[in-house]
Amino acid sequence: MARARTPKPRILPKAWRPVTDEITRIPLQHPQTRNWWICFAIAVLLLLTYLISAGVLFWKGVGVWGNNIPVNWGIAISNYIWWLGLGHAGTLISAMLLLLGQKWRNSLNRFAEAMTLFAVVCAGLYPILHLGRPWYFYWMAPYPSTMGVWPQFRSPLTWDFFAVLTYLIVSVLFWYIGIVPDLASVRDRAKSPGAQILYGLFALGWRGASRHWARWQKAYRLTAAIAVPLVVSVHSEVSLLLAAGPLSGWNSTVFPPYFVLGAAFSGFAVVAMIAVVLRHAFALQNLVTERHLDLLGLFILATGLMTSYGYVTEVFNALYSGQPFDLNTLSSRLTGRYAWSYWGAVVLNFASIQLLWFKRFRINPWSLFAIGLAVAVGMWLERYMLLTTTLYRDYLVSSWRHYHASFWEWSLYIGSLGLFFTPFLLFIRYLPMISSFEIKESIVETQEAAHG
Amino acid sequence: MAQIFTPAADTWLRATTLATVFLLTLGAFLFAGYVNSDYATGVGMVVDQPVPFSHKHHVGDLGIDCRMCHTGVETSANAGFPPTHTCMTCHSQLWTGAAALAPVRDSLAEDKPLVWNRVSEVPNYVFFNHSIHIDRGVPCVACHGRIDEMPLTQRAHPFLMRFCTDCHRDPGPKLRPPDQVTRMDWSAWDSVPEHRRYGIEAMKHFGIEPSRLINCETCHR
Amino acid sequence: MDIDTSRLSSRTGRRFWRAVEAHDGNLDAAIEAEFAAAFEGLSDRGRRELLKVMGASLALLGVAGCSQQGDVRAMPYVTAPEFETADNPKHYATAVIMAGWAQPVIGVTHVGRPTKLEGNPKHPASGGATDAFTQAALLGLYDPNRAQGPKFEGRPAAWAAFDDAMVENAARLNARQGEGFRLLTGASTSPTLARQLNDLMQRWPKARWHLFEPFDDGLRLEAARLAFGKPLDRRLHVDQAEVIVSLDDDLLGPGPQQTLNARQWSTRRRAFQTGQGQARLFVAEPTPSLTGAVAGDRLIAAHGRIPALAQALSSALGDSATMPTLSALEQQWLERAARAMKAVQGRALVTVGAQHAPEVQALAVALNARIGALGRTIAFAEPAALSPPDGAQSLATLVRDLQGGAVDTLVILDANPVFTAPADLGFARAMERARVRVYAGLHDDETAALCHWRAPIQHCLESWTDARAVDGTVSLVQPLVRPFYDVRSAHAVLEAVQGRLGASDHDLVTQTWRGAWGGAFDETWRTSLLDGFIANSAPAEAAVSAARVAAAFASEAPGLEVLFRPDPSLWDGRFANNAWLQELPKPLNKVTWDNVIAVSPAFAEANHIGSGIDSGDIVRVEAGGRSVEGPVWVTPGQARDSITVFLGYGRRLPGQLGDGHGFDGYPLRTSVSPFAVGGARLTRVDGKRLLACTQDHTALQGFDFVRTVSPDAARRERSGPSSASREPSLYPDWRASSPSWGMSVDTDVCIGCNACVTACDAENNIPMVGKDQVAKGRAMHWLRIDHYFEGPADDPKLFFQPVPCMHCEKAPCEMGCPVGATVHSPDGLNLQVYNRCIGTRTCSSFCPYKVRRFNWFDFTGKDPPELQAARNPNVTVRSRGVMEKCTYCIQRISDARIAAELEGRPIADGEIKTACQQACPTKAIVFGDVINPESEVSRRKRSARDYTLLEEVNTRPRTTYLARIDDGEEGEGA
């Protein structure tokens, strides 16, 4: 921890020349081949689990899950919300901080965006899987059908459908535009013709001409400008999926901000975890510095506290309304069958992040990783709690009933981790995981600024 | 360092991208075209029947009224197929030996029903009621086409939901005097100016509100 | 094939006994072995699998029902039947028979298929109402598990073979004037059967007829004999009784009497609601019953306390009989009851349950006589049911003769004594002594397994017969459809066993009535068929002299007592193969597919030390040296020292739907104490049984889902137009145009009898999902009856609340659906468009009433042909992955609307009856146009008792409730 005590940790390395080599060598001669293959094998196995679980689901019907009346939605939907939440940090970090001119983002944005993409994919598939008749999912899309009927535009689900789709597309665009120049530099350093052609194709003939750079700047910032509001809209939409219903515990105006902040919160947590792992695995300490960890820690702390505010509001609203049903929901959250999910969320999301008040824990990779993990799990519990505790004891006493996730629900969830890690591992294996040119750019800028 | 790509590469890249977009759009249009095509909706296709029954002959030439055979049409949901007995009321006298009618005679002899293949088949999940349509003056021809010109019966319109809803949205123009529902040729109707008002008047008289007709539960239960 | 008697007796007979003995008297094993052959390769007994197998074996009925596939083939008649127009349903008046009693119905048929049974409005007894059993009889007709052809020694045989064998046998018996011929039947009221029995006795004077019915009025007749010197049927006029004191008599409970009593009681109750007199109900009972649940003043009293209470009531009303010692609670209850009775004098009724000693019942009769109720609220008439020579001893006599080897040929007609006979008689082992055993019944059941010949009989919906309704009126039973299976009418079989062949059921029945009517036959026959009953055919009420008071008697104090009750869904077990009844939540515990042992919360609590009893725990009940084991159900309102065992489950029907559900309680039941036995012990044994219950929580917990008002408050008219909350809403109001459909459910007269639920099952093609799915919370009933209790668990108030879809005007479900599959119709229905639904289940998540049901699997696709044929063709059969729910029977609305439009008239009020409304014996449900102020439903919604379920959610439901009137203690003034 000696370096931890240095008063001003540098954000960036001194010299910009080695940066590109340092980053682009990874796709070309991978340093961690063996470990990578091990991870990849595990990920693929999980992916297989996912496919099997989905297959069984399609073959037999949603009945293979543990859902019932009243608990129509189980961990399928809570996972959807959770995954989508993770998918927020990426865009938030890259797009928003880009527009705010926060240079330090450059070391994080690339893999954060990749993480976003894959998380959104994992999320986006859940609503389709949970349908009773998944083969008709496209009826949610507006298109001129022979039936002459359209989606029902008052429904939050319809808007969900649009929001998630838009978010996915924009994220892909943003990420790809961002990576083009680096693909070019990989192409230029590639030895094997195969690699050259492959990277070359995706580099879209990037030659680094000033004209290219000018247009690239425009395109990149424009997409960023589009992406930022989406961050807010997507999870607000998702929150309406619950808040639009008349059920106590859902029907609350705090939900949109509560969900968005919770999403960012979990997102930052996961970014922090990934950052820690990557910088350790690929010795990128001089690119992803303690300063970065420090900042990430601060973000987690901030968003975490805002999320906790949501918890407080929920309790307050219930007590303030004095509605028997609201109080009933509150009590079943605090003391009911699924209280573990509530208290688990409180401990992991609120208690754990208190450590981040201390810089020591922020810049220490291990503690940061641990806290990130705690938050990721905590947020999962929170989503689960929101879903279940409201449904299993809704209005009429006669329809109260418990819910237990079945084997196939769990296997699908575990599998979805494979759906996430498989492409992510491919990404860190074959693509420049950090935006080298942006780092160089900012190094140069800072140096020029220093020379004045 | 050797060139990886020829100077034309960029052009090719752009070309292929454009081509892909174009092909996708084209595909979409082709698909849309298909689902609406007669081929997909079975319009104009002749279904083979145990007996080559000719509506053209019976309706067009002999002028037999639809209700002679399809007795249920005014009183119940289904128009109904005629019992073999009905066929034989005439064919015990006419064409008694005709080979084509053998199945009909056998049916009566062996007391085995004729197995017809439906031509105008109501789609799944739809509850259609003939009697009310007939009562309101929706002529047979509106859905079944010029049956009197069909030597072999075929579907005249695509029984897509849109076909029903188009009329339910604005039944007026389709309505005819109920006492003439089985009339086939209405080509002259619209040329008479005062007929234009008939639809509106009829709607008023029967209290037909399209806003109600267009609701799901009108056909789906 | 022709078998001469010697071969029959020697080969078949003996070898069969050996077969049983070989199993060392283990009956179950014997039956298993017996059936093994018949049901080879049928290891999986899952409902669906089973039905598939059974169905596969059948190519009957060219009808595919209303399947998912549009039918591309059209098969017109060769010669159309008269008056046949395409597909319009036809109605036939007939009756189904329950424990010998006729339940009048109108059978609805579509192109020859019976698809629904509706009450017969003309009938004096039912007045158009039905009970759950009657509704479910339809499924009984289509039951794929029915015996489908004659069998000899468990192997399929031909009727010809049966006839030959019977002729041979009859020849033998003729020689001996029928000596050794015994006929055992279940209860019957059929005049034709009576005539046949007379013939039989004349031909074979030495033959003998025996009768056994597990739950009948035997003790009632005995009581009447004590009171009047001759057995008489009791005829209650509940609608005349302003005060009813029921001592453990479940007047409104399941059984043949239910429809009549419930209807009459509700008539009185409704009169009371409008201020005409009272309708007070005092009930003292050991185990909660439907009657107790609706009683204004309920006393929990053990079975053993009933005699004392009867005596006390008698002396409280001025009889010299000694006043027995009562507890404080009993005393107070008794005083209230007596006071109420005195207030109304002759317009009161005292009644004692048929399961109590004749003396006690006779005392009640005397009491009624004294207060001048005789002839007003209660009357007596010649018995309608056929009574066997040996009366109550009938079965005992048969067993004695069997054991004595006096029985040569035993014919069992429509009864299942091997399963239901009192355990102490040892009927199963005794009947093995008969040389020729013939079984004629609907199913290959436990008794059939021990008989040489099985002659399957026709269901009452496919044969000609006759029977009396509980009021004595005769119904002519005409077939709605030709038999699907190779079966014969019971009458024909009875002829055949006498060696008389070729008689058709139609002939036999007409013969009876030709004799009775002579010249007027044709006319009377026709009108009776059209009406569904023979006018004024009920035995006149006998003018009985004031009864003499029965001798005083000692009431025993039995310690822990076990009560035997028929199962509310399966009765004595006869409906075990009926999926609708198996999956019907029992009114007071909402358990399906199982029976339970009811114990009081206090008892369970007390036994918590060590053992610890919760619902579902397996316990052993021992009494009189016998014992049974079954799952316990902690039942609020149960007497501390009474435990109730529900009979009818634990059937042994290998390969059939009803096999192996629940436990068999009959082994505990003896001929000495058939209804209650004292000195019992209950011990916990290891294990817990998962009970598929449709309602996990029944404590009201202070919510106001069900409401009660005082009698005078009830009579006020409300000021506002309707109860529907008018708080502001973000959504625009619907254009209120007539008709706008709505429903009103009167919780004051709902007795929770489940008739509506079963009617809904039949009308709307509700799929049955089996125990596992119900346990998972996936039952599909569109209409459920919520059951709540309020107050201390040991003396609670019990409530029923039918909950269909509320058809909200501001329906959250409509807003939630992304594809517009749930929509609002201009006449105010909230509807589900199955073919548009993609199954997001948002609607159900948003529904505050949780009335929507989801097809978690494909529940309908694999149904066998019979069940498909039973479906209502006017209702879509829902496929996997779609949501469904109550539609207010939109198919009925559409039909009525089209009919009205064709005739150019508005739809009349009451023209449309929903299936549930139609079946309800108490008219608790009313459906109609809420815009028309004159409609019945509008009138109800104007009542001060009208309230909205979950008003605070502001969904503005079209279904509202009428609060229950509490005329308990403070009801006196009313």
Percentages helix, strand, coil for chain A (3-state, rounded to 5) are 75, 0, 25
Contact A250, A390 (CB under 8 A): yes
Of the candidates B5, B9, B162, which has its C-beta nearest A147's C-beta?
A: B162
Roughly what angle, to the nearest 10 degrees, separates helices A156-189 and A436-451?
A: 70
pLDDT > 50? residue C42:
no
Q: Which one of A72, A134, A152 has the shortest CB-CB distance to C819?
A: A152
Is A9 near chain C, with CB under 8 Å?
A: no
Residue of C nearest to A77 (CA): C840
Out of B72-81, C91-100, C540-549, least confident range: C540-549
Q: Residue C557: its pLDDT value, please? A: 62
Q: What is the mean pLDDT of residues C684-705?
A: 90
For chain C, give the mean pLDDT.
86
pLDDT of residue B96: 86
Provide the ipTM. Answer: 0.92
Q: Which helix (DSSP H) or strand (DSSP E) does residue C297 occupy? A: strand C297-300
Q: By a Cβ cutoff of 8 Å, what residues of chain A touch chain B?
A: 144, 146-149, 187-188, 193, 196-197, 200-201, 204-205
For residues C553-580, average pLDDT: 87
The C-alpha atoms of residue B72 and residue B93 are separated, in whole angstroms, by 25
Look at residue C10 in the predicted model and tell me its pLDDT. Answer: 34
C692 interface with A at CB cutoff 8 Å:
no
Whether C731 shows a pLDDT value over 90: the answer reads: no
Mean pLDDT of the C214-236 span: 90
Contacts of A211 in chain B (CB under 8 A): none
Mean pLDDT of C724-744: 81
Using DSSP, state whether B171 is helix, strand or coil: coil
Q: What is the pLDDT of residue C51?
A: 38
Q: Does B18 touch chain A (CB under 8 A)?
A: no
Q: Chain A within 8 Å of B35 (Cβ-Cβ)?
A: yes
Which carries the bigger pLDDT value, residue C73 or residue A402? A402
pLDDT score of C60: 32
The residue-averaged pLDDT of C165-170 equals 93
Residue C554: predicted pLDDT: 62
The dihedral region occupied by C876, where left means phi > 0, alpha psi between -120 and 50, and beta the remainder, is beta
CB pair distance less than 8 Å for B116 and C901: no
State the amino acid at position C34 in one-letter form: E
Q: Which whole-number Å values give the CA distances from C568 to A273, C250, C289, C571, C584, in the listed order? A: 61, 12, 10, 6, 9
Cβ-nearest to B83 among C77, C890, C894: C77
pTM: 0.90
Q: Which segment of A7-16, C428-437, C537-546, C637-646 scores lowest on mean pLDDT? A: A7-16
**pLDDT surpassing 90 at residue C458:** yes
- C816, A391: Cβ pair inside 8 Å? no
**So what's the pLDDT on residue A6?**
41
List chain A residues with CB under 8 Å of C819.
Answer: 139-140, 151-152
Over residues C23-47, mean pLDDT: 39
Structure tokens at C299: 């006393």
Going through B74-159 in order, the beta strands assigned E by DSSP cover 116-117
A154: helix, coil or strand?
coil
* pLDDT recorded at residue C717: 67
Q: Which is higher by pLDDT, C617 or C78?
A: C617
Surface-to-core class of residue C525, CB atoms within 10 Å of its CB (0-12 exposed, 13-18 middle, 19+ buried)? middle
B contacts of A187 (beta carbons < 8 Å): 4
In this predicted structure, the answer to whether residue B86 has a pLDDT above a threshold of 80 is yes
Residues of chain A whose pLDDT is less than 70?
A: 1-17, 449-452
Q: For the ranges A107-116, C24-33, C950-959, which has the lowest average pLDDT?
A: C24-33
Q: What is the pLDDT, as a whole number, of residue A442?
A: 76
Counting runs of H as helices and runs of E as strands, what totals does chain A give? 17, 0
User: What does the pLDDT read at residue A329?
Assistant: 92
What 3-state DSSP class applies to C115? strand
CB contact under 8 A, C72 and B121: yes
Residue C44 pLDDT > 80, yes or no?
A: no
How is residue C698 written in tokens?
């029944």
Res. C12: pLDDT tops 80? no
Q: Are strands C692-693 and C591-592 parallel, antiparallel or unpaired?
A: antiparallel
C567: pLDDT confidence band, cut at 50, 70 and 90?
Answer: very high
> pLDDT digits over A270-315, tens only?
999 999 998 888 888 888 888 889 999 999 999 999 999 999 999 9
Least confident of A6-15, B67-76, C174-183, C262-271: A6-15
Query: Which of A179-188, C159-168, C729-738 is least confident?
Result: C729-738
Binary contact (C803, A396; C-beta < 8 A): yes
Q: Please tell me which chains touch C, using 3 or more CB pairs under 8 Å as the contact test.
A: A, B
What DSSP assignment string belongs to C469-520?
Answer: -TTS-EEEE--SS--SSS-B-HHHHHHHHTT-----HHHHHHHHHHHHHGGG
CB contact set of A45 (below 8 Å; sequence gap of 6+) = A418
| Confidence at residue C555, expressed as pLDDT on a 0 to 100 scale | 57
* Residue among C368, C626, C452 nearest C14 (CA): C452
What percentage of chain C reaches a pLDDT higher than 90?
A: 68
What is the nearest CA distance from A427 to chain C, expressed in angstroms?
34
Give the number of other CB atoms < 10 A from CB of residue C327. Answer: 12
Helix (H, G, I), strand (E, B) or coil at A298: helix
DSSP-based three-state secondary structure for C262: helix
Note whether C77 contacts B215, CB cutoff 8 Å.
no
**Interval C353-406: pLDDT, tens:** 999 999 899 999 989 998 999 889 999 999 999 988 888 889 999 999 999 999
What was the pLDDT predicted at C974? Answer: 37
Cβ atoms C674, C632 nearer than 8 A: no
pLDDT range class, residue C35, cuts 50, 70, 90:
very low
Rounded CA-CA distance C937/C918 in Å is 14
The distance of C329 to chain A (nearest Cα, Å) reads: 31
List chain A residues with CB under 8 Å of C697: 397-398, 400
Question: Which residues from B are below 8 Å from A144, CB to CB?
Answer: 32
Q: Is the pLDDT of residue C15 over 60?
A: no
A138, A397, A406, A407: which to substitute to probe chain C, counting the most C Cβ within 10 Å?
Answer: A397
CA distance A65 to chain B (A): 28
Per-residue pLDDT, averaged over C263-277, amounts to: 93
pLDDT band at C245 (very low <50, low <70, confident <90, very high): very high
Write the burial class of residue A103 (CB in 10 Å: 0-12 exposed, 13-18 middle, 19+ buried): middle
